[in-house]
With several copies, the nearest count.
Chain A
Amino acid sequence: MTHLEHAPRTDTPLTKAQIAARVAADIAPGSYVNLGIGLPTLVADHLDPGSGVTLHTENGMLGMGPAPEPDAADPDLVNAGKTPVTELPGAAYFHQADSFAMMRGGHIDVCVLGAFQVSVTGDLANWSTGEPGAVPAVGGAMDLAVGARRTVVTMTLLTKDGAPKLVERCTLPLTGVACVSRVYTDLAVLDVGPDGARVVETFGTTHGELETLLGLTLGRTS
């Protein structure tokens, strides 16, 4: 169920907040949602409190609420980014094996992740820049990528250096194979999957410009 009536309409590229709002507009009322660290976290600010969306944090909680007042932070109550959060009525706590069972078992409706690269078939690279000598760290990224019913990505479409992050084939170490279904960016929303990438919506650009920018042939959603 999408709610395009709430979606931002712009003739310019979206800000990060607008990308987050655009993601939020696609989340059906009553959904269970996991928001990755970084840009995905912003999505929470754009969910209608009356929509009954429940947030999962993979470190062991359903019913996560917003950040507390600074002096009310509880070191025992943190999100996956290890920053303080709060508990909403109807919350529940569980241990790590149960939390990842919930994720891996397909019970989370939507997982929103950041990415370094997404391929047109939905491969995801978001845990390692592949830099030699870097200290690696993966956390729950690989579990989140493959576990939810629907995994979507929020990212800028280009790197700071102008390189496309939506690519024919990921060159960075993979997080998961064929796991992403939609990518929300500053310039466009695109569906990815077995049939390749298809443009859902553009912001301040055109279908043709996007194809040139990415060096890809892009389909259109029907």
Chain B
Amino acid sequence: MSATVLAPDALAALGDVADGATVMIGGFGPAGQPTELVEALLAQGATGLTVVSNNAGNGDDPLARLIRDGRVAKMVCSFPRQVDSWHFDAAYRSGAVELELVPQGNLAERIRAAGAGIGAFYTPTGYGTPLADGKETRRIDGVDHVLEHPIHADLALVRADRADRAGNLVYRKTARNFGPVMATAARRTVVQVREVVPAGALDPEAVVTPGIYVDAVVATGTHAGGEASA
């Protein structure tokens, strides 16, 4: 990875995204969703995307609009159905979007494996269920396991709380969720933060995502719920 670039706005941070790209989008529902970056992806125009995200949009949030606008060919996610996941539900029922449903812990571990250079791993989660249909299994120490493979991406969009100029990140409460693992698993990782601070201003003991994983950072001045930062 090269040194982290501080971008002037979300669209510049995003850079080029090819049609057909695999894009990881952080967040667990609204918590930790990189709203401004997904807005930028909407504006950027790439289509035929595979989106890896725990959920599949709420209401008319940018991820939901990406699906509504037919830009997403496939969702890889653990919990697409929400009370307000109208756009995904419609696209799924019409066959406009393909779904790979992955148990949440397997999703996280498969993303981690991609970032960690692990070729595949055996997990007990999902064994004997429809989500393991057709997958290789193995009994290890008396426990049945399923072989799962890494999920790599071309691009990861992540929301953190603060970044330093070296690209180191800290998050805020449960908004941390998928950000740290997604940041490791993509060829390019773009992060929106509330604020950027000088190198050395984050405690090196408390850095959650080291800057090596971060290609571009944009300060959006917003945090949870989109409020302007104090």
Instruction: Find out whether A and B make contact in their complex, taking CB atoms under 8 A apart as touching.
Output: yes
Q: Which residues of A come within 8 Å of B, CB atoms?
A: 28-32, 52, 54, 56-63, 74-79, 82, 87, 89-97, 99-109, 123, 128, 133-143, 146-147, 173-177
Q: Is the CB of A133 within 8 A of B210?
A: no
Bound CA span A32–B167, Å: 13
Bound CA span A75–B226, Å: 10
Contacts of B31 in A (CB 8 A): 59, 75-78, 82
Q: Is B89 an interface residue (CB 8 A)?
A: yes
Bound CA span A78–B89, Å: 24
Partner of A30, one of B2, B131, B171: B2
Bound CA span A91–B203, Å: 8
Bound CA span A153–B99, Å: 29
Q: Is the CB of A135 within 8 A of B88?
A: yes
Q: Is the CB of B104 within 8 A of A61?
A: no
Q: Assess A93 versus B204: contact at CB under 8 Å? Given A136-B99, A138-B131, A143-B104.
A: yes
Contacts of A89 in B (CB 8 A): 166, 198-200
Q: Assess A138 versus B174: contact at CB under 8 Å? Given A92-B207, A95-B181, A97-B111.
A: no
Q: Is the CB of A90 within 8 A of B200?
A: yes
Q: What are 11 A-B pairs at a CB distance below 8 A?
A: A54-B212, A59-B31, A63-B166, A75-B31, A76-B173, A90-B166, A93-B171, A93-B207, A96-B28, A105-B115, A134-B81
Contacts of B108 in A (CB 8 A): 95-97, 99-100
Q: A59-B28, A87-B204 are in contact. List 9 more A-B contacts (CB 8 A).
A: A31-B2, A87-B173, A89-B166, A90-B165, A90-B168, A95-B180, A96-B177, A140-B78, A140-B103
A45 to chain B, nearest CB (A): 21
Contacts of A138 in B (CB 8 A): 78-79, 101-104, 131
Residue of B nearest to A123 (CB): B128
A180 to chain B, nearest CB (A): 13
Q: Which residues of B come within 8 Å of A, CB atoms?
A: 1-3, 28-32, 54, 78-81, 85, 88-89, 92-93, 99, 101-109, 111-112, 114-118, 123-131, 144, 164-166, 168, 171-181, 184, 198-200, 204-205, 207-208, 210-213, 223-225
Q: Is the CB of B81 within 8 A of A32?
A: no
Q: Is the CB of B224 within 8 A of A75?
A: yes
Bound CA span A132–B109, Å: 29
Bound CA span A59–B55, Å: 12
Contacts of B174 in A (CB 8 A): 57, 59-61, 76-79, 93
Q: Is the CB of A97 within 8 A of B104?
A: no
Contacts of B118 in A (CB 8 A): 104
Partner of B127, one of A28, A32, A59, A146: A146
Q: Is the CB of B207 within 8 A of A104?
A: no
Closest 3 CB pairs of A and B: A89-B200, A100-B105, A90-B166
Q: Is the CB of B80 within 8 A of A174?
A: no
Partner of B224, one of A76, A92, A137: A76
Q: Is the CB of A62 within 8 A of B125?
A: no
Residue of A nearest to B199 (CB): A90
Bound CA span A173–B126, Å: 11
Residue of B nearest to A82 (CB): B29
Q: Is the CB of B125 within 8 A of A104?
A: yes
Q: Is the CB of A104 within 8 A of B144?
A: no
B201 to chain A, nearest CB (A): 8
Q: Is the CB of B129 within 8 A of A142?
A: yes
Q: Assess A63 versus B204: contact at CB under 8 Å? Given A77-B173, A78-B29, A135-B88.
A: yes
Contacts of B107 in A (CB 8 A): 96
Bound CA span A38–B124, Å: 25
Q: Is the CB of A142 within 8 A of B29?
A: no
Bound CA span A15–B46, Å: 53
